[in-house]
Structures are given as structure tokens and as C-alpha cells.
Amino acid sequence: MLLFPECLHLISTGSGREPNSVAVPSSDPDSQPVPLPEIFSRWFAARGWSPREHQLELLAKARADRSALLIAPTGAGKTLAGFLPTLVELSGRPRGAGRGLHTLYISPLKALAVDIARNLETPIAEMGLPIKVETRTGDTPVSRRQRQRRYPPDILLTTPEQLALLLSSDDAPFLFSSLKRIVLDELHALVTSKRGDLLSLGLARLWRLAPQVRAIGLSATVAEPESLARFLVPQNFPPPSAKRRGGVGGEGLFSEDSTGVSSAASPHPRPLPATQERGGRGEDAGTGDNNSVAADIVVAGGAAAPVVEMLDTSERLPWAGHSARHALGEIYDLIKRNKTTLVFVNTRSQAEMLFQELWRMNDDGLAIALHHGSLDVGQRRKVEDAMAAGKLRGVVCTSSLDLGVDWGDVDLVINVGAPKGASRLMQRIGRANHRIDEASRAVLVPANRFEVLECRVAIDAVNENAQDTPPLRTGALDVLAQHVLGCACGEPFLADDLYAEVRTSAPYSGLSRNDFDDVVDFVATGGYALKSYERFARIKQDAQGRWRVTNPRVRQSYRLNVGTIVEESMLKVKLVRSRRGGSGSTGALARGGRMLGQIEEYFIEGLVIGDTFVFGGEIVRYEALVEDEVYVSRANDVDARVPSYMGGKFPLSTYLAERVRLLLADKRAWNGLPDQVREWLSLQSYRSRMPGAREMVVETFPRADKHYLVCYPFEGRLAHQTLGMLLTRRLERARARPLGFVANEYALAVWGLGDMSAMIRQGRLNLDALFDPDMLGDDLEAWLAESALMKRTFRTCAIISGLIARRFTGEEKSRRQVLFSTDLVYDVLRKHQPDHVLLRAARADAATGLLDIRRLSDMLVRIGGRITHKELDRVSPLAVPVMLEIGREAVYGEASDELLAEAAEELVKEATG
């Protein structure tokens, strides 16, 4: 593996920049041109490298005592840039003990932390620098963790969860008092999830423990760098309470400390708006207050533009589906013609299928491997090592390889299926060729006709370098609850102080006092209106009003359950011999068999014994479920009986969706599309109507003995599913007798027994009323009461907030048990205290998560008064793809009585037939 492959930048390569430039002319008057210390210049020169402009610029920011966000594409030498200030500062210090922790590095992946530590050792050893580097992850032995707290290294590399643990210990003030620098890697990926919330709260704590600390964020290109830069510096600064109690000294938050850095004079936050190296969109992510400040932004330039094309298939393009079977031969040829190819797909099951098919045609015996999150960890490591050693020609992978250790030698990225988002695609493409001055190459393979449109607009977006990363999150209340408990595990805190501290974190900068107090109340006694748990409190106030944990058991439970990653309930999959026929009670099967990996429990729950599905690259037959193990046998079927396409984790971005709508509305732009697609679209214009850029077309038509309603909101599968749930409720009331619906990323089809065409014609069904945003009122409420998706969302909040423990000392509570009990809690809480803080947290998640309600709401407003109805006598060309999903895809009715009635009917038939 290459050491700092990203700084393989030979002086001789012409990338359009000044070679050998070691001093940076800076636009910022605070930053002085920085000469690189002799020892570093020599080290760079000895390797035939020259420091990059942005690396030196970050050094200048550090010298000027500023926090900074580095926006750089993969391969731009981000990691070295992030550590250069630390290495330079530490190189000047004399050898000797007792200096304390200088730099904290946080990565989303522990493997990345370990890899970076290895890479850091090289320059440190070669320059003979007196610097000690250590990692701290879940795998670090307890003895070393304890030693690290007492005798910290100069540089500690770790994860957000480990930081939270460190902060909750009594040693935290000692450990972090010396901290000068924080380096946050892959910040763009961290901030999109609750892990980012947790990290931001950790930062807020560090700003209090070490007011001198400055942050460096490393990020891929994002849509709103300004808003991301806020993450790196304290907001609402200085807090009003600190101003008021300015003279208290020592006790108060952000009071002056021994380092002599006065809080009011703290130089690094920069008020917004201000002149930028690169203009952001200037939109404030959440709060809109005047205290919003951001770190300086440094943009690495000079990256060669990627070369992206769409596979020009000679085969017939499928109408629907996600397998891209038609393009298998062409994908195989691409792998064969290149040295190393990464083949990205959107879901685990697509990866399974593609891998299996590629091997079926692999007459050349190319070394092609499979990598996804459900595979056994050992197996994944093996693939990664083989890849690093250059032994593989291709890896079929999911988002499991979106981030991670750099491999220098990938020369082609193939993205099969929908790209989903422009930024997401660019980051994937960046996985090919980690040398900044060579163009990355990528080929997009659409799996169906709609995906051709999506690929087309995604390529345009890449060429324009248009980004569509989501805006910065508003901090979640369940994560805050976990943090509050963590704080109480360390030094006791005053609510006023902690509230002010929390509001310095960007995601929580707009947190209301009311929400904060509710969270503290929740942590203490559950936050219930019925005050019956005072004597069971987990945290209590002492005589000075400071909150502290009531007993060591609470602390222990916090430590075991820290973190925001709540995994889907997974079952182990083991391969055994088929034992067709037997189907007694569970527990009768002999244990054993080869471990294939893990699978989502909810997928297995939908199967009956004998069903076949694809797993581990082959078609297997479901034999039995014994406790947490699924037994499967090899099946000879060519096609799996139960499809396992569950949709991607990531819905189509709003930005790409809008571009697809514009593309459809503009006939001249169709010239850039393959003939087959152009003909399809033309036929739609002729047979029905092509939706205008801002209009929504609704088609109704009969087919067989049912009546269909198809609409094209283009808002992603999740929002469409929610819409489908709500529409069927309303159609039920309108007596259209709906039977079911199916959604894809672009369209929604609802069918029923009532003749919806006639109903609309006769004025018995009004489309404007049907799609009125008021469906987000009572109808949504009624559905949320029983929605399985909402219960899953609530479960996550219940676990993160610490209401339900995931782990107890020594053993893990069966996940099945946890799932069931949170459903019961949801039902009871919803009825008796609907405004409880956990339900509020779950609602906030539902707005953007599995139910995507906010997007649905935006769409309903967008199409208000712009619905065009087409009454047709048969299915339209544009409707074919979504209609083909029927039967292929689980129908998303949640009416469980129908399913039960069906099973009951079978009994009747058996008895009478």
C-alpha cells in the first residue's frame, strides 16, 4: 500500500501550479506566508515531492490560530494537509515526557484511523520527529486505554464514539487540557447522520475543556461549505451566561483560563457573512441567528475533471428492474479491459446478483470479488487486503466502500443503477485513481429507462461540478439525551452551563431551552407527565443544583451503550444441506454449517420455508430459523422466488429529480438520449402527456378488472410510499375501493375496484382535494399510529436516547426482544403522552428518514393547482416501469388483516376442498 498516495505529486508534473512553491500568498491578512521548516522541505525534496498549496495554506491558518475547513477532492493530499500543522508544531518541541495530548484525529471508520496511524509513522520516522501516535478504537485493549488516559500520546486517532467515552470519564479535564488541534476526517460524511450530532456535542465539550483548541475539517466538495464550516467553531459565542457571570472565574463556562486566551478575544470564529475564498450559498443551515460563525475555508484546486460516460449499450434497455442484466457482457468486458475496476451498486442484493452473474460468464477466471456490509467481517478484510495487494481485477461493492482506505490503483469505477445524487456519484468516482492530476474514469450503467434519464442529468451535474449534499442537520434530541447522560457521568454540571455549552455546537445552535430542559428531565426520570419515577432517577441535582449520576450502574450502562449507530436486527446465515419436507417445531434442526454472513431479520420474517433468495453470491433455499441463525441450503433454481430489492438506502436527491423533470419537459434536450429512450418519451407525448417542469400528471386507466391511478411526483421511493399510504386512506373514504399501491423513485401507482376515471369525470373525485397538503394532518396522524416504519424510527430513538439498553454487562439483550418492547412502548406513549420528547425526536426523524415527510410536504405545495389529469383507455408508456414493479416488489399496504385473512382462507379451502 502506498504511504500518502495522495501526495505522489512529482515536481515535474504540470498541473498548472507553481512548482516548488513553499510560501503561500494568502488572501487572509491574518495569515503570514509560511516557510516550511528545513527538516520538512528536505523530507519533501528527498521524495521528489513538493508541498501543495492548500497544505501550506492550512499551515498558515494554523499559525494564525484559525480553525479551517479544507475542501478537497480525493487524492489531493487531504490527510497530510490536516496533519502538517501538528507535525510542524511538534517537531519544534524538545523531547521529554508530560507534554500531554496535542492533536485528536476523528474518523468515521476505525479502519481508516488505523491506516492513517500507520501512514503517519513514515514521515515521523524518516524525519526523526519526537512524536508518539496511537489509535483508540473499540478493539484497543483495556490496559492500553487506561494507559492512554494517564499518559496520552501526542496524537490520538479515534472515532466519535470513543471521543464520547473519553469525555464522560473523570480524566477528561486532565486529558484534554493540553489539546491544541482537532482533525476531523471525511467530515462531509460524518455530519449527515446522528454520529455527526454526537461529534458536534463532543466538540462543544472540548471547546470548554480546551479553549485554545483549533479544528481542521477535511471534506469532499459539498453544496454548502459555509454551513459545514460552522461545524468547526463555537456558535453563540461567547454564551450570554458566560458574559453575565464573566468574573466568576474557573466555575463559569468559557471564562478566562490559564492559557491566557480570553474568550471574548478568541480569534478563530469568523462572523458570517464574510469574504470567502470560495463563495458558499450563504444560506444558514438552521438557526438564522446573528451569532452564526464559521471557520475559514481552504479549497484545494487543480483536480483534473473526471471523465464520466454512460454505457452505450447495444442491448435492449429494460423497462423496469434494477439488475442491469442486459449489460452484464459489457460490464464484464470493461473489467477485462482495465487493470482494477470498482463496480458500485446500490443494494446488497444487487451486489449479490451481479457478482453471481459475472462469475457465471467469467471464462477468463478474472479475480472478481464481492464486498458488502452484510458479509462476514473476516471475508471483507480478505477482499480489502487482496485489493490493496493489487491481486483483484474487480470488486462488486455497495456503499460499504464509499469511504475508507485509499487504494492507489483503481483505474475505473462502474456505477450500476441509479446514481441517486450528484455529490454521491462524484465521491464514488473519486475512488478511482487517487492521484489528483489524473482524471478519474467512470462508466454509468443504467438498469432501466428511467435510470437513463437519471444518469444523463447526473453526468451533466458532474461536468458542471454541481453539488447536492444535504444541508447541515438540526441536532437530534435522542442524541442530546445520550450526551447529557454522558456529561453527568463525568463532572457534575449545572443545567445553565450545559445548555450554553451545547448551543455552541452548530447542529444544536438553535436548541430551545424548553427542549433542553425536557431532555434533562427525560434523562433523570423519563420525562413523563406522571411523576412517579422520582425515586428511580438516573441523575439527580445536588445541593448546589449540579446534576450527577445516582449510581455506578448508570455510568456502566452509559459506557456500554454509547453511540448512535443502531443496526438493523440481523440474523446469521448458515449454509446446510437441504432437508426438504421436514417442518416441525423450530429447534429440531442440527446446528452447524458454514457461516455465509448476516441478513436483515425483517427480510427473513417475510419468507416461508422453501422460498429461495439470493445471498452470498448464490441462490439459496430457506430451511429454518433457529434462534438468531437462518439455515439455508443451495438451490438449483435459476431465479430466486423472493426478490430482495428493498430500494436503496439513499433516495433520489431532490436536485437530480428536478433536473430529470426539466429534461423531460425540454424536448430539445432529448437528443442527448439513446434512441430507445427518445422513442419511449415521444410515444408518451403522443399517447398521454409529458409532464411539464412544474406540473404533475395524473393518469387513470382500466386494466384487467381493476382501475389504476398513476402519478409522477419524482420525489424518491420513500416519499412516494408515504404518499401511497395516505392516498389509499383518502381513496378508501372516497369509495374508490383501493386495493394496493406500488412506488418507485419516480412514480406511484394505486389500484382499486372503483372506476377512478369515471369518478373524476363525474366530479365524485377531485384530484386537487386528493393531493391537498392537508393529508399531512389527521390522515398522517392516523397512519403514524400503526406504521411499522414509524415504529422502527421510534425504536432507534429509544435506543440512542438510552430508554432501552442495547447491551447489558456481559450479554447482549436479544434484539428481537428490544424490537418488540419498543413497539409496545410506542403504542402506550403515543396514547398517553403524545408530546413526549422521544416521540418528538421520532417525528423529527420521520420528516427526513424512512418516511421522508418533509419532501412529500414540499412536493404537495409545489404541485398545488398544477395537476393535469389524463383519462386513458390503457397504460401509458411512462407508466409501464412502475406498473412492472407490481408483484415484483412487496406491496406496501400495511393492512395486516388482509394478510391474516388470506392465511385463514387457506385453512377453509383445505378443510372444504
Per-residue contact flags (x/-) with another protein for residues 311 to 330, judged by CB under 8 A: --------------------
Query: Residue 347: in which H helix or E strand, if any?
Result: none
Q: Looking at beta carbons only, is 530 or 638 nearer to another protein?
A: 530
| 540: contact with another protein by CB under 8 A | no
Q: Looking at beta carbons only, is 401 or 481 nearer to another protein?
A: 481
Which string of DSSP letters, residue by residue, matches 204-220? Answer: HHHHHH-TT-EEEEEE-
Q: Looking at beta carbons only, is 198 or 554 nearer to another protein?
A: 554
Of 530, 543, 638, 704, the one binding another protein by CB under 8 A: 530
Of 1, 386, 665, 825, the one binding another protein by CB under 8 A: 825
Vertex 647: Cα angle to 224 and 774 (nearest 5)? 70
Helix axes 422-429 and 449-464, enclosed angle (nearest 10): 70
| 578: contact with another protein by CB under 8 A | no
**Residues 483, 205: Cα–Cα separation, whole Å:** 10
Whether the bond between 238 and the residue before it is cis, its omega within 30 degrees of 0, is yes
Pairing, β 181-184 against β 103-106: parallel
Of 271, 290, 533, 778, the one binding another protein by CB under 8 A: 533
Q: Looking at beta carbons only, is 567 or 605 nearer to another protein?
A: 605
What minimum distance in Å lies between the beta carbon of 832 and another protein? 4
Query: Residue 62: in which H helix or E strand, if any?
Result: helix 53-63
**Residues 35, 674: Cα–Cα separation, whole Å:** 55
| 786: contact with another protein by CB under 8 A | yes
**Residues 550, 7: Cα–Cα separation, whole Å:** 52
What minimum distance in Å lies between the beta carbon of 904 and another protein? 4
**Residues 540, 708: Cα–Cα separation, whole Å:** 59
Q: Which stretch binds another protein (CB under 8 A): 342-350, 573-581, 816-824, 861-869?
A: 816-824
Of 580, 824, 834, 864, the one binding another protein by CB under 8 A: 824
**Residues 555, 534: Cα–Cα separation, whole Å:** 18
What minimum distance in Å lies between the beta carbon of 385 and another protein? 36
Alpha helices (runs of H) in 747-787, residue ranges in sequence order: 756-761, 767-770, 778-786
**Residues 646, 789: Cα–Cα separation, whole Å:** 13
Q: Looking at beta carbons only, is 639 or 897 nearer to another protein?
A: 897
Give the sheet arrangement for strand 867-871, strand by strand: 738-743, 748-752, 706-711, 696-703, 867-871
**Residues 451, 674: Cα–Cα separation, whole Å:** 12
Contact between residue 335 and residue 341 where contact means Cβ atoms under 8 Å apart: yes
What minimum distance in Å lies between the beta carbon of 168 and another protein? 17
Contact between residue 503 and residue 236 where contact means Cβ atoms under 8 Å apart: yes
- Single out the residue of 360, 368, 361 nearest to residue 341, CA to CA: 368
| 811: contact with another protein by CB under 8 A | no
| 805: contact with another protein by CB under 8 A | yes
**Which amino acid, residue 875?**
V
What minimum distance in Å lies between the beta carbon of 372 and another protein? 20
Of 260, 363, 903, 912, the one binding another protein by CB under 8 A: 903
Contact between residue 26 and residue 60 where contact means Cβ atoms under 8 Å apart: yes
Of 566, 765, 829, 872, the one binding another protein by CB under 8 A: 829
Of 11, 45, 590, 828, the one binding another protein by CB under 8 A: 828
Of 97, 142, 265, 608, the one binding another protein by CB under 8 A: 608
What minimum distance in Å lies between the beta carbon of 593 and another protein? 20
Q: Looking at beta carbons only, is 72 or 524 nearer to another protein?
A: 524
If you count them, how many residues does the chain have?
Answer: 913
Per-residue contact flags (x/-) with another protein for residues 486 to 525, judged by CB under 8 A: ---------------------------------------x
Q: Give me the long-range contacts of 582-589 (CB less than 8 A, separation at least 24).
A: 583/609, 586/624, 586/625, 586/626, 587/626, 589/623, 589/624, 589/626, 589/631
Q: Which stretch binds another protein (CB under 8 A): 116-124, 242-250, 431-439, 799-807?
A: 799-807
Q: Looking at beta carbons only, is 583 or 676 nearer to another protein?
A: 583
| 896: contact with another protein by CB under 8 A | yes
Number of residues that bind another protein (CB under 8 A): 56
Helix axes 815-832 and 837-848, enclosed angle (nearest 10): 110
Q: Looking at beta carbons only, is 4 or 645 nearer to another protein?
A: 645
Contact between residue 3 and residue 119 where contact means Cβ atoms under 8 Å apart: yes
Q: Which stretch binds another protein (CB under 8 A): 126-134, 361-369, 435-443, 901-909?
A: 901-909
**Residues 599, 629: Cα–Cα separation, whole Å:** 10
**Residues 43, 40: Cα–Cα separation, whole Å:** 5
Judged by CB under 8 A, the chain residues 627 through 656 that form the site for another protein are 642-643
Q: Looking at beta carbons only, is 495 or 785 nearer to another protein?
A: 785
Place of cell 451569532: 291
Judged by CB under 8 A, the chain residues 831 through 870 that form the site for another protein are 831-833, 836
Of 1, 111, 560, 890, the one binding another protein by CB under 8 A: 890
Contact between residue 539 and residue 491 where contact means Cβ atoms under 8 Å apart: no
**Residues 402, 756: Cα–Cα separation, whole Å:** 45
What minimum distance in Å lies between the beta carbon of 584 and another protein? 8
Q: Looking at beta carbons only, is 545 or 887 nearer to another protein?
A: 887
Query: Residue 634: in which H helix or E strand, if any?
Result: strand 629-634
Write the Ramachandran bin of 702: left for phi over 0, alpha for psi from -120 to 50, otherwise beta.
Answer: beta
Helix axes 788-801 and 837-848, enclosed angle (nearest 10): 120
| 821: contact with another protein by CB under 8 A | yes
Of 625, 742, 743, 748, the one binding another protein by CB under 8 A: 625
Of 182, 442, 790, 803, the one binding another protein by CB under 8 A: 803
Largest CA distance in the chain: 93
| 276: contact with another protein by CB under 8 A | no
Of 381, 553, 591, 761, the one binding another protein by CB under 8 A: 553
Q: Which stretch binds another protein (CB under 8 A): 5-13, 255-263, 277-285, 606-614?
A: 606-614
What minimum distance in Å lies between the beta carbon of 896 and another protein? 4
Q: Looking at beta carbons only, is 600 or 695 nearer to another protein?
A: 600
Which string of DSSP letters, residue by residue, matches 558-587? Answer: HHHH--S--PPPEEEEEE----TT---STT
Q: Which stretch binds another protein (CB under 8 A): 388-396, 691-699, 741-749, 802-810?
A: 802-810
| 606: contact with another protein by CB under 8 A | yes
Binding site for another protein (CB under 8 A): 525-526, 528, 530, 532-533, 536, 538, 553-554, 557, 583-587, 602-603, 605-608, 625, 642-643, 786, 803-805, 817, 820-821, 824-825, 827-829, 831-833, 836, 890-891, 895-897, 899-907, 910
